[in-house]
C-alpha cells in the first residue's frame, strides 16, 4: 500500500487488492491514503483474521478497518464485483470526493468460484470512465509537500474536512450507481431491499454469502406465511443513516446477521451501527444481533430460516440477548 501511495501521488490511476492478514498488515497506511485524499481503489477479499490460522470467508478483516476513512462498498456476486469496480474509480476520482474506495468481496464464495457474467466493451468502459486527471500530484516543476506534519493546531481541522468529504461522498455514490444503471441496465443502490414493502420483520445482511443465502431463507419463510423482507447493506462507509432510518422505522423486528464479532463489545458491527442509527427514535424495531458464518462456516438457508424464526419468536416475547453466536457447539 505504501507503493500505491507513491504511485497515486505521482498522478497515476492506482488499483490494488488484498485480503485478511494483508489488510491487517497495511492498516497503518490505510489511514494515510484517505487523509492524503488519494483516490486509490482496492478490492478486499474478505477472509478471517488468525488465530487459529483460517483462510476462509469472514468479515473480521474489513470490520477491523471501519474507521480508515475510505468509501467502503460490498459486491455480492461476480457480476456486482465486475460492475462496481469501474464505479469505484468514478466515485474515488470525482472532484467532490477524492477519497480511496474499497470494494469488499466475500472470500472463497466469490473469490474462488467461476460464474458467468455479462461483460462490458472497452468502449463502454471508456465512455463511463474518462481518462484520469489527478487533482493534485507530485511534480518537480511545481513542487508541493504531500502528507506533511499536522501539529495540534491543524490536525482537528484536517479530520473535520475528511469527515465532511466522506459523508458528502454519499451523493456521488448514488449518482455513479444511477449513471451505471442508466447506461448498462444493471442498477445498484447503497442499501438494497428484497420483499420489504409489506414486511414487519426484516433480515439485515452484509456481504454476498449471507446476502444471497438470506434471499432463499426469506423465500422459504414467506412460503410459511411470515411477512419478512431482506435489506442488504452495500455501502458500509459512509454509513447510509438516512436510508437505514427510512427502511427500518416502523418495523416490528430486525434480525441482523454479522459475519464478524466485536469481541467483548456490543456484538455484531452492523447490528451495532443499526442500533446507533435507530436509538431513541419512535417506532424503532427490536434489533436482534446474530453472529454467524465465521471463518468460512457454512450457513445453509434452512438453518438461517430456523434461526430467524427463533429470533422473531424471542423478539415477540421481548427477551433476547444483546447478541448471540448461532450454530455454536456448546
Partner 1 sequence: MNVKPSTRELALGAAILTPGSAREYHTGGWRTFYPKTDEALCITCGLCWIFCPDACRVITKRENPIPGVLPDYYDFNPDYCKGCGICAQECPTGAIRMIEEGAP
The residues that touch partner 1, with contacts defined as CB under 8 A, are 35-38, 98, 135-136, 143-148, 150-151, 153-154, 157-158, 160-161, 164
Q: Which residue has the cell 497503518?
A: 28
In terms of CB distance, is 136 or 310 closer to partner 1? 136
Dihedral of the CA atoms 108, 7, 147, 16 (nearest 10)? 0
In terms of CB distance, is 123 or 145 closer to partner 1? 145
Rounded to the nearest whole angstrom, what is the least distance from the CB of residue 98 to partner 1 in the complex? 6
In terms of CB distance, is 24 or 146 closer to partner 1? 146
Distance CA 209, CA 117 (A): 18
Rounded to the nearest whole angstrom, what is the least distance from the CB of residue 245 to partner 1 in the complex? 27
Rounded to the nearest whole angstrom, what is the least distance from the CB of residue 151 to partner 1 in the complex? 8
The x, y and z cell numbers of residue 278, run together, are: 435507530
Rounded to the nearest whole angstrom, what is the least distance from the CB of residue 37 to partner 1 in the complex? 4
In terms of CB distance, is 21 or 136 closer to partner 1? 136
List Cβ neighbours of 300 (8 Å cut-off, separation of 6 or more). 213
Rounded to the nearest whole angstrom, what is the least distance from the CB of residue 25 to partner 1 in the complex? 23
**DSSP-derived secondary structure for 261-293:** -BTTTTB-HHHHHHHHHHTT-TTPPEEEEEE--
In terms of CB distance, is 112 or 160 closer to partner 1? 160
Distance CA 31, CA 17 (A): 16
Dihedral of the CA atoms 316, 322, 325, 327 (nearest 10)? -10
In terms of CB distance, is 150 or 250 closer to partner 1? 150
List Cβ neighbours of 44 (8 Å cut-off, separation of 6 or more). 17, 18, 19, 23, 61, 62, 102, 103, 104, 105
Rounded to the nearest whole angstrom, what is the least distance from the CB of residue 161 to partner 1 in the complex? 5
Amino acid at each position: 500500500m505504501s507503493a500505491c501511495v507513491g504511485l497515486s501521488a505521482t498522478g497515476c490511476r492506482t488499483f490494488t487488492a488484498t485480503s485478511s492478514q494483508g489488510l491487517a498488515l497495511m492498516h497503518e497506511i490505510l489511514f494515510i491514503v484517505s487523509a492524503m485524499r488519494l483516490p486509490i481503489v482496492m478490492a478486499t477479499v474478505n477472509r478471517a483474521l488468525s488465530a487459529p490460522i483460517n483462510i476462509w470467508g469472514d468479515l473480521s478483516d474489513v470490520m477491523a478497518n471501519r474507521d480508515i476513512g475510505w468509501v467502503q462498498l460490498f459486491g455480492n456476486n461476480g457480476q456486482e464485483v465486475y460492475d462496481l469496480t469501474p464505479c469505484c474509480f468514478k466515485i474515488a476520482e470525482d472532484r467532490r470526493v477524492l477519497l480511496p474506495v474499497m470494494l469488499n468481496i466475500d472470500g472463497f464464495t466469490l473469490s474462488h468460484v467461476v460464474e458467468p457474467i455479462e461483460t462490458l466493451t472497452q468502449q463502454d468502459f471508456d465512455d463511463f470512465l474518462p481518462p484520469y486527471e489527478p487533482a493534485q500530484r507530485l511534480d518537480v516543476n511545481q513542487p508541493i509537500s504531500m502528507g506533511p506534519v499536522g501539529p495540534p493546531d491543524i490536525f482537528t481541522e484536517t479530520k473535520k474536512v475528511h469527515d465532511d468529504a466522506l459523508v458528502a461522498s454519499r451523493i456521488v455514490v448514488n449518482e455513479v450507481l444511477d449513471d451505471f444503471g442508466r447506461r448498462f441496465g444493471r442498477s445498484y443502490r447503497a442499501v438494497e431491499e428484497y420483499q420489504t414493502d409489506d414486511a414487519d420483520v426484516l433480515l439485515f445482511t452484509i456481504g454476498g454469502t449471507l446476502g444471497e443465502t438470506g434471499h432463499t431463507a426469506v423465500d422459504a419463510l414467506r412460503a410459511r406465511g411470515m411477512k419478512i423482507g431482506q435489506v442488504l447493506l452495500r455501502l458500509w462507509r459512509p454509513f447510509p443513516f438516512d436510508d437505514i432510518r427510512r427502511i427500518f422505522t416502523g418495523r416490528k423486528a430486525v434480525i441482523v446477521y454479522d459475519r464478524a464479532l466485536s469481541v467483548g463489545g456490543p456484538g455484531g458491527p452492523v447490528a451495532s451501527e443499526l442500533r446507533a442509527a435507530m436509538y431513541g427514535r419512535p417506532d424503532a424495531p427490536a434489533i436482534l444481533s446474530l453472529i454467524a458464518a465465521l471463518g468460512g462456516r457454512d450457513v445453509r438457508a434452512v438453518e438461517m430460516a430456523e434461526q430467524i424464526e427463533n429470533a422473531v419468536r424471542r423478539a415477540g416475547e421481548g427477551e433476547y440477548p444483546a447478541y448471540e453466536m448461532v450454530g455454536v457447539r456448546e
